[in-house]
Amino acid sequence: MADAAAKEKPADAPERELTDGFHLLIDALKLNGLTTIYGVPGIPITDFGRMAQASGIRVLSFRHEQNAGYAAAIAGFLTKKPGVCLTVSAPGFLNGLTALAHATTNCFPMILMSGSSEREVVDLQQGDYEEMDQLAIAKPLCKAAFRVLHAQDIGIGLARAIRAAVSGRPGGVYLDLPAKLFGQVMDAAAGQKSLVKVIDPAPAQIPAADAVKRALDVLKSAKRPLIILGKGAAYAQADDAIKSFVEKSGVPFLPMSMAKGLLPDTHPQCAGAARSTVLKDSDVVMMIGARLNWLLSHGKGKAWGDAPKKFIQIDIEPKEMDSNVEIAAPVVGDIGSAVSALLAAMGGNWPAPPADWLKTVTSKRDENVAKMAPRLMNNNSPMDYHGALGVLRTIVKERPDAILVNEGANTLDLARGIIDMYQPRKRIDVGTWGVMGIGMGYAIGAAIETGKPVLAVEGDSAFGFSGMEIETICRYQLPVCVVIFNNDGIYRGTDVNSAGADPATTVFVKGSRYDKMIEAFGGTGINATSPDELKRAVNAAMDCGKPTLINAVIDPGAGSESGRIGNLNPQSVLKKK
Ligand SMILES: Cc1ncc(C[n+]2csc(CCOP(=O)(O)OP(=O)(O)O)c2C)c(N)n1
Ligand SMILES: [Mg+2]
């Protein structure tokens, strides 16, 4: 150890070059190409953040760790490298933990690095500053959790974290960094040698040839086939292979929310606008990086109809198979390798699916699109969701490389259906949990990681969870345009509390002017009361790339309870009080 080495040094020995925990961690991050950190400073990581910044790492300071964590999580999704979030101990750690759990649930690679207090004191529960056994708390909420106690283990510790985050099914990793670690000194050359560059952190997982053949046999036998693309398919960055496979198969495809744009929503095979028909009437369903969780009604029940169905599932995680229903043809492998193997094994003359099925799907889709069209062109004031989203739909069509962040209830469900996406990984939203609060963190992470303009379409409630980060957006001058669908509340702004003076639980201050908030930080705020005004304001913001917040005034009565998932609310059988 360094102290011992110093004691042993003869008086006339030349001064040896030293390094310490601060510098080793910085070097280890850089060595592995992790050059952006999202976090909030404080004891014991303030100086680490300063030194990291001085060394050329981009260190983005947030107003709340949860938002920094969401930025790191989406950085992981967008780049296939772990997004890094840095927090202080106990409360900062806990604030970041929600995002780490979210990353794990959504299969995004992320590393939460938190400073922690003195082990000796924490373990005896003697009441240290921000005392908490963080490692134990993180463990059940993420894919892996590690603690580094010695400077010479920083290299290995980070290597383990990176590998755990990105290999197999990606997820969140916690790295516990006790305060003492940062100041630990060791010989610089030995320190340099202790660093680990992770070779091939997410090795390809090639599916077995017989699994590929079985999948193709089942797909070929289908009379009414369907392909469902999940966000795992978007994450894989195997865009060309997936597009070729879908097109070669001729099978209608349904993109899950964050897989929209992998193939354009306007693609002739896209069945997005015929969702209920294809779920109900298909006989063979191939899932590519999509899970049969609640978002797909667990693969059974009314939404899936009565006809027998066979499922083909492509996933990197073997345990995903049969999780909800029997999988007739499991293909375990990474999406890129699996889809390439499928393509190769299809041969040159793959038969098109039966024409009557394709006709059923396209006519249902065209019928639904036509039904929706006039509603999207209304210029009502105050706006309804359709009028406002009709405008945003055109703007995204004209700016297909912009990134769309989306959260809320009605604001989410309706935007998902109405706004077509044209390129992969351009739509990022609430994900598996339907969590509110990802908005500004995602917007910042996406702007930083991609350099592209960001359009964040936010319910007024959803925005409130991360709203303070508009200061962060202004501070870093990020090209983010936030549009708040302000209907005065959660789902609707019309609820009344029949029992007393307090407002109903779902309503906010009526006529709030969120646009004024961003003006406090030098950004542009605009109040838009009609689709025409909204269109002008968003276009101006996207053209100039300056931080902008648009308060879009939506009719408080326009939404519905819980958006499209009101059926999940438990009901009281007792008489309504
Ligand atoms: C972290 C978290 N807390 C609470 C909820 C419950 N929730 C679902 S949607 C929503 C807000 C919906 O209102 P808004 O964002 O204004 O959208 P609107 O339906 O009004 O357009 C809330 C609070 C949640 N999903 N996540
Ligand atoms: Mg609302």
Average pLDDT of the segment spanning 209-222: 98
> Model pTM?
0.96
Name the DSSP class of 205. -
Angle between helix axes 385-398 and 531-544 (nearest 10 degrees) is: 30
- Ligand 1 binding pocket includes 554 (Cβ within 6 Å): no
Residue 65 confidence (pLDDT) above 70: yes
Ligand 1 pocket: which of 405, 466, 491, 560 to mutate (most atoms within 8 A of CB): 491
Residue 538 confidence (pLDDT) above 80: yes
Pairwise CA distance, residues 476 & 125, whole Å: 40
Q: Choose the weakest-confidence range: 1-10, 264-273, 449-458.
A: 1-10
- Ligand 1 binding pocket includes 409 (Cβ within 6 Å): yes
Angle among Cα 550, 553, 556 to the nearest 5 degrees reads 145
Q: How far is the CA of 448 from the centre of ligand 2 (A)?
A: 28
Number of continuous H segments (helices) and E segments (strands) in the chain: 23, 19
Q: What is the pLDDT of residue 460?
A: 98
Ligand 1 pocket: which of 461, 553, 568 to mutate (most atoms within 8 A of CB): 461
At 71, the pLDDT band (50, 70, 90 cuts) reads very high
Residues 6+ away with beta carbon under 8 Å from 454: 402, 403, 404, 405, 443, 446, 447, 478, 479, 480, 481
Q: What is the pLDDT of residue 15?
A: 72
Residues 6+ away with beta carbon under 8 Å from 52: 26, 29, 37, 59
Structure tokens at 337: 């390798």
Q: What is the residue type of 525?
A: G
Q: What is the pLDDT of residue 577?
A: 56
SS3 for 12?
Answer: coil
Pairwise CA distance, residues 15 & 299, whole Å: 68
Order of strands across the sheet with 329-332? 253-255, 225-229, 284-288, 310-315, 329-332
CB 315 within 8 A of CB 332: yes
Residues in a beta bridge with 225 = 284
CB 456 within 8 A of CB 419: no
Q: What is the pLDDT of residue 307?
A: 86
Number of the ligand 1 atom closest to the C-alpha atom of 464: 15
pLDDT in tens, 415-438: 999 999 999 999 999 999 999 999
Ligand nearest to the CA of 433: 1
Closest CA to 40 of 132, 106, 113, 128: 113
Pairwise CA distance, residues 526 & 509, whole Å: 18
Q: How far is the CA of 558 from the centre of ligand 2 (A)?
A: 10
Average pLDDT of the segment spanning 453-474: 98
